[in-house]
Amino acid sequence: MIPVQGFRGQKVAVLGLGRSGKTAALALRAGGAEPIVWDDGQPARDAAHDEGFDVVDLTKSVAFDGVSALIVSPGIPHLYPKPHPVISAAWDAGVPVDNDIGLFFRSFATSEWDGFDTAPRVIAITGSNGKSTTSALVHHILVENGRSAQLAGNIGRGVLDIDPPSDGDIVVLELSSYQTDLARALTPDIAVLTNLSPDHLDRHAGPGGYFAAKRRLFAEGGPDRAVIGVDEDEGRYLANQLADHLADDRVIRVSSGQKLDQGGWTVFAKKGFLSEYRKGRQVASVDLREVAGLPGAHNHQNACAAYAACRTLGLSPKGIEAAMRTYPGLPHRSQVIAQVGGVTYVNDSKATNVDSAAKALAAFPKVRWICGGLQKEGGLAGLHASLDHVVRAYVIGREADAFARDLPGVDAAICTTMQAAVAAAVADALPGEVVLLAPAAASFDQYDNFEQRGDDFTAQVKTALAV
């Protein structure tokens, strides 16, 4: 655990007692603070009380008397669509509001580092899609190349739950917009933006607010090196703002699909080959076509970002390539479940928005597509260019009829349930086709989360195939 610095003997409030909130309370206590905690749910409050925490109703008018800071869990709105009442009360009382990411960055470095030969470093990875895969891939590459590394943040362990870093240790953090938006301290050594597409627009009051939350990691974080996906205008804009000139190698531009050879330091993938260029000349190449854990152009973009981040740490192209070939992939992200009778079954339940689903569809030429759920803002227009890969759609969710109507020219079966969709797709599928779960929607109309939805798909496939 990383004990939180700077609050010894002070009262600090924690709002929200999920994984990050509970860990923050423990880390505050480990650092000598006096945490008081609150959650809107009674079961979480009861559990905190049983663990010895002081449970205080932060909605009361005097709750912030003597409180030095309020630490907020990422799922709690702090500005849009409207601030949580406890956060409003903290503002009125003049109490600084922060989150566990801010606590991590203010507490990560300690006096023990004075005896290290190599200072620990932090790689922070954000973006709309692919940040989990990129984070896990960076961690895998580091470990496979003999580097001491820990993976945390929006994936794996909470940031304050990791072990205090050792000499030369590298911490890989996946950070969501919810986390970067509020953190009062953001000081990564290397920052990565995979891409940007519309998501969480209600939480950020539109695409501008969403981009601004991501941009804070770079503009306020001041990383030594920035790896920027430039396949969208926002990435191009950010790379331009961070670099003093085209050859400024503090900024590494990455892309999937376009050649970047005009100067500077670039990494791009085209036709299945990753290329690294410096000052307009190619210095390395990696064949991604046979890397089983990274199928499709969207994963090649992730590979480029991970490759670039690892190169900034001095890893060799050959060492990175060898590690990529052993990368197993993440559950629910282009995860191959089975291959039976020439048909491949792929679980991409994490494809919860239109952009990620479109990239999943584009990765395979003939798709039996299981889709549907709770639609996000903006509709399904962003999918239309990828629908020619769809042999047939099998639509699930409580609003399956409405979802199917937004898929022009697609043969769509209204299945509603995962069981019915999988059974129909398995019966219809022909050799050379892919049965793909890429919902393009949230899961909350039928499931608690995308993991539960992916697990259901996996179970139904195995039952239908008797594997």
Claim to verify: residue 271 and residue 317 sit in the same structural domain? yes
Asked, for residue 103, whether it belongs to a domain, the answer is no
What's the Rg (C-alpha) of the chain?
23
| pLDDT for res 85 | 96
Q: Binding-site residues, please? A: 127-133
Kind and range of the H or E element at 89? Answer: helix 85-93
Claim to verify: residue 366 and residue 418 sit in the same structural domain? yes
Claim to verify: residue 90 and residue 152 sit in the same structural domain? no
Claim to verify: residue 50 and residue 148 sit in the same structural domain? no
Euclidean distance between CA atoms 249 and 265, whole angstroms? 6
Amino acid at 437: L
Claim to verify: residue 358 and residue 386 sit in the same structural domain? yes
Euclidean distance between CA atoms 437 and 415, whole angstroms? 13
Counting Cα atoms < 13 Å in the Cβ hemisphere of 267 gives 28
**With the C-alpha atoms ordered 54, 58, 60, 65, is the resulting torsion angle positive or negative?**
positive
Claim to verify: residue 279 and residue 380 sit in the same structural domain? no
| pLDDT for res 376 | 79
Cβ neighbours of residue 277 under 8 Å, at least 6 residues apart?
260, 261, 265, 266, 267, 268, 283
Q: Per residue, what are the HEC states of 20-43?
A: HHHHHHHHHHHCCCEEEEECCCHH
User: Is 319 exposed, middle or buried, given 0-12, 13-18 or 19+ CB atoms closer than 10 A?
Assistant: middle
Amino acid at 280: G
Is residue 81 reached through a cis peptide bond, with omega within 30 degrees of 0 on the bond before it? yes
Amino acid at 444: F
Asked, for residue 36, whether it belongs to a domain, the answer is yes
Claim to verify: residue 311 and residue 346 sit in the same structural domain? no
Euclidean distance between CA atoms 421 and 425, whole angstroms? 6
Contact predicate 304/294, CB 8 Å = no
Contact predicate 435/461, CB 8 Å = yes
At which of 70, 98, 126 does a domain end? 98
Structure tokens at 43: 């079961």
| pLDDT for res 134 | 96
Asked, for residue 329, whether it belongs to a domain, the answer is no
* Range(s) of the domain holding residue 15: 11-98
Contact predicate 16/35, CB 8 Å = no
Asked, for residue 467, whether it belongs to a domain, the answer is no
Angle (CA) 123 127 130, round 5°: 90
Asked, for residue 413, whether it belongs to a domain, the answer is yes
CATH code of the domain containing 431: 3.90.190.20
* CA 306 centroid distance within chain: 13
Taking the model in full, what pTM does it have? 0.86
DSSP, residue by residue, 266-286: EEEEETTEEEEEETTEEEEEE
Claim to verify: residue 184 and residue 121 sit in the same structural domain? yes
CATH code of the domain containing 233: 3.40.1190.10
Asked, for residue 339, whether it belongs to a domain, the answer is yes
Claim to verify: residue 94 and residue 112 sit in the same structural domain? no
At which of 289, 305, 324 does a domain end? 324
pLDDT by residue for the chain (467 residues), tens digit each?
999 999 999 999 999 999 899 999 999 999 999 999 999 999 999 999 999 999 999 999 899 999 999 999 998 999 999 999 999 999 999 999 999 999 999 999 999 999 999 999 999 999 998 899 999 999 999 999 999 999 999 887 899 999 999 999 999 999 999 999 999 999 999 999 999 987 778 889 899 999 999 999 999 999 999 999 999 999 999 999 999 998 899 999 999 989 999 889 999 999 999 999 999 999 999 999 889 888 888 899 999 999 999 999 999 999 999 999 999 888 898 888 899 999 999 999 999 989 889 989 988 999 999 999 998 777 888 888 889 999 999 999 999 999 999 999 999 999 999 999 999 999 999 999 999 999 999 999 999 999 999 999 999 999 999 87
At which of 289, 324, 359 does a domain end? 324
Claim to verify: residue 156 and residue 60 sit in the same structural domain? no
Claim to verify: residue 130 and residue 182 sit in the same structural domain? yes
The two beta strands, 273-278 and 281-287, are antiparallel
Q: Binding-site residues for ATP, please? A: 127-133
Say which residue the tokens 């940040």 belong to: 131
Claim to verify: residue 355 and residue 433 sit in the same structural domain? yes
Measured from the Cβ of residue 381, the count of other Cβ atoms closer than 10 Å reads 10
CATH code of the domain containing 66: 3.40.50.720
Q: Which of 150, 189, 194 is nearest to 172 (CA)?
A: 150
Structure tokens at 255: 């892309």
Asked, for residue 291, whether it belongs to a domain, the answer is yes
For the chain, how many structural domains are there in total?
3
Euclidean distance between CA atoms 400 and 439, whole angstroms? 11
Euclidean distance between CA atoms 73 and 98, whole angstroms? 9
